[in-house]
Structure 1
Amino acid sequence: MPQEFKRQYREILEQYTQRQTEHNLYEGQNFSRQLIQKNISPEEVISIHKASLEELMPELPNNVWHSFDLLIEVMIRYGLALKEHQTLIKKQENFRMEMELASNVQQTLLKTKVPEMNSLDIGMISVPAKEMNGDYTHFLNDDTTVGIAVADVIGKGIPAALCMSMIKYGMDSLNGAETEPIVVLDVINRIVEKSVSDSMFISMFYGTYDTSTSVFTYASAGHEPPLFYCAKSNSFSELQAKGLLLGVIPNVKYEQHSISLGKDDFVVMMTDGVTECRSKEGFIDQKTVMDIIESVRDQSAQDMVEYVFHKLEELQEFEQRDDFTLVIFKKK
């Protein structure tokens, strides 16, 4: 401990014991900044205080001086705990910065553009529960056909983001939007099975819509079944298609089905962040989700997905527990 610090503190203490002014306190605050800059420990500060008092007030009883010895021991342990706490905070801050960087990279690499198609209105929203998004959407399109992949990694964080990069790699290798859904899933499944850890599994839905025939063709790899809304009957139904999760085994037979869309019909594709929303009373049932969607069936597809998200967010008291992805194909 430099003698200059001891001398300076003794002067501040002497002035404060004599006057107790705001200026004296301000000088003490400034002095504490110097101590922090020089990395002076709490127990050293107490030692300075004790030594200064011995010079200024030598008549204090012995039990007072003994109390400072106890305080020094307490501060030694406190100082060690404080350093550990500060180190942990720094590590957490570094981790947060790394996650933000990884999230930005993920958004850039996996970004997809919602296509504009004649006779088809498309809406899409994807909101991660945390920094990294475990959901993934990807569009393929040409003049008459649009393809949509909606995937969900069983897992979170950076490992899930790496899985998504495998899906993007597979989607980029396809010949175009006209590729049949069962072929798409077969290609992605083979890539995932070879490239991703056995502990990571991915559910995925893939569908194509042909604007020339108004036919929606789809297949699923263990994903949430989409909802089909028929405007003529004002009713919902599930689009079921059997298929194993991606990455389990290399050779999987997927089911492929088709459905024709009439005017104002729409298909709602989603991840389990939509179907497994929870309020304080429990899970929000499918009927409630259908009612919310139906209440805005006359709006644009983008307005619909945004309304559904905000309504379910409200029902969950703004506590989003899972990644939320919703895509709507609506025939104009």
Structure 2
Amino acid sequence: MFQVKESDLTIQNKYKELLAFYLQNQNEAGLYQAQQYSKVLLDNKTSPEDLVSLHYSVLEEVFPDIPEQVKNSFEFLLEVMIGYGLAYREHQILRNRQRELELQIDVAANMQQTLLPKEIPVLDTLDIGIISIPASKMSGDYYYCVKDDNGCIGLAIADIIGKGVPAALCMSMIKYAIDSLPEQRMQPGALLENLNRVVANNVDESMFITMMYGSYDSRNHEFYYSGAGHEPGFYYHYDSDEFEELYAKGLVLGVSRKATFREYKRVVNKGDFMVLLSDGVTETKVDDRFLEREEITTIIRQFINLPAQEMVENIYRELAQIQGFTLKDDFTIMILRRKV
């Protein structure tokens, strides 16, 4: 192996030796030595135009009687390689920047995963299923599902209007803001008001967050919820076998510091379930149109007798298949069902 960081004279002499060997023998051994020496040229940061100039200089020594036209052709080649070298270096710089950006995105994507619940809460009276699939490495969807010491569930689904690293940072802010308000987890309206102030004070004006937050009291089976401009979910009535829109009126988080959020309440009967979702679910496209909400409930109904986790997984597969398994937006769906 050749030593790197050789002097210009050493490089020229070695190149002359290798070229002379190849021209004399014209075999695989000569080509292999040339390939190996290219590593030395790279380590010494020899540019393409420098290599052409080196080759021409060595060629003049080996063949002093080179025709004038051949010499002129090397001058032409040298000019071409100067332009090529500049373009190549610019390409390398852009490629390195792209690699750095991809590395940052990977780090942010891994950070996002640490912000999501590690496991789904387990209660004797509830069946919970959650699936969240990003359309790309970084997701703009966030979900939250935590059980407190009283066996009550706080759950949320949010969509950050914005992608990439800023969305990941915003997601971390939401997660820790909710965690810092344990006394309000059972008060969705008050919790959203506090989150709204946090978002308005700390997030750029170009970014907004929609959210549906709910709390389920397993002691009396009451579900309280509030919305901040988020996609309406569904409520399924077991007794009547009917779906109803789970709608909660409210401004998107971050629009106004003084926004208030109405709190809604439902008594959950045995077999009833709530469906919270992101717009990646409702904006599923068939040909050139979005699925109607009634079509989505028809798909949910196909899997209604399965456990909640199997339900959400099958719903995802069905909707992904409709889109040719190419998600146009992040996909998140949560189902919370009171056991019969």
**TM-score for the superposition, normalised by structure 2:** 0.89
Instruction: Indicate which of 219, 225, 229 corresponds to 1:218.
Output: 225
Tell me the distance in 2 between the aligned counterparts of 1:92 and 1:280. Answer: 34
Paired residues of 1:146 and 1:177 also in contact (CA < 8 A): no
Q: Spell out the pairing of 1:57-96 with structure 2 (5 A cutoff).
A: 57-96=63-102
Task: Name the residue aligned to 1:261.
Answer: 268
Task: Name the residue aligned to 1:117.
Answer: 123
Paired residues of 2:111 and 2:168 also in contact (CA < 8 A): no
Tell me the distance in 1 between the aligned counterparts of 2:324 and 2:219. Answer: 43
CA displacement at 1:7 relative to structure 2: 2.4
Task: Name the residue aligned to 1:246.
Answer: 253
Tell me the distance in 2 between the aligned counterparts of 1:111 and 1:81. Answer: 47
1:151 aligns with 2:145: no
CA displacement at 1:301 relative to structure 2: 0.9
Structure-2 change in CA distance of 1:61 and 1:282 (3 Å): farther
| Paired AA for residue 271 in structure 1 | S
1:169 aligns with 2:176: yes
Task: Name the residue aligned to 1:137.
Answer: 143
Q: State the SS of the aligned residue for 1:165.
A: helix
Give the paired residue count. Answer: 332
Paired residues of 1:276 and 1:284 also in contact (CA < 8 A): yes
**TM-align CA RMSD:** 2.2
Paired residues of 2:186 and 2:224 also in contact (CA < 8 A): no
Paired residues of 1:135 and 1:325 also in contact (CA < 8 A): yes
1:228 aligns with 2:263: no
1:192 aligns with 2:199: yes
Structure-2 change in CA distance of 1:3 and 1:190 (3 Å): closer
Tell me the distance in 1 between the aligned counterparts of 2:184 and 2:273. Answer: 19
Paired residues of 1:209 and 1:217 also in contact (CA < 8 A): yes
Paired residues of 1:177 and 1:208 also in contact (CA < 8 A): no
Structure-2 change in CA distance of 1:275 and 1:58 (3 Å): same
1:37 aligns with 2:43: yes
CA displacement at 1:35 relative to structure 2: 0.7
Tell me the distance in 2 between the aligned counterparts of 1:299 and 1:239. Answer: 21
CA displacement at 1:328 relative to structure 2: 0.6
Q: Spell out the pairing of 1:229-308 with structure 2 (5 A cutoff).
A: 229-278=236-285, 281-308=288-315
309-318 vs 242-251, which deviates more? 309-318
What's the % identity of the aligned pairs?
43
**TM-score for the superposition, normalised by structure 1:** 0.91
Paired residues of 1:118 and 1:211 also in contact (CA < 8 A): no
- Mind listing any 5+ residue stretches in structure 2 that lack a counterpart? 1-6
- The Cα offsets for residues 297-320 of structure 1, whole Å up to 9 and x where unpaired, read as 111111111222232222222322
| Paired AA for residue 61 in structure 2 | E
- The Cα offsets for residues 158-217 of structure 1, whole Å up to 9 and x where unpaired, read as 222232233223312323476222122222122222222222211111112222333322
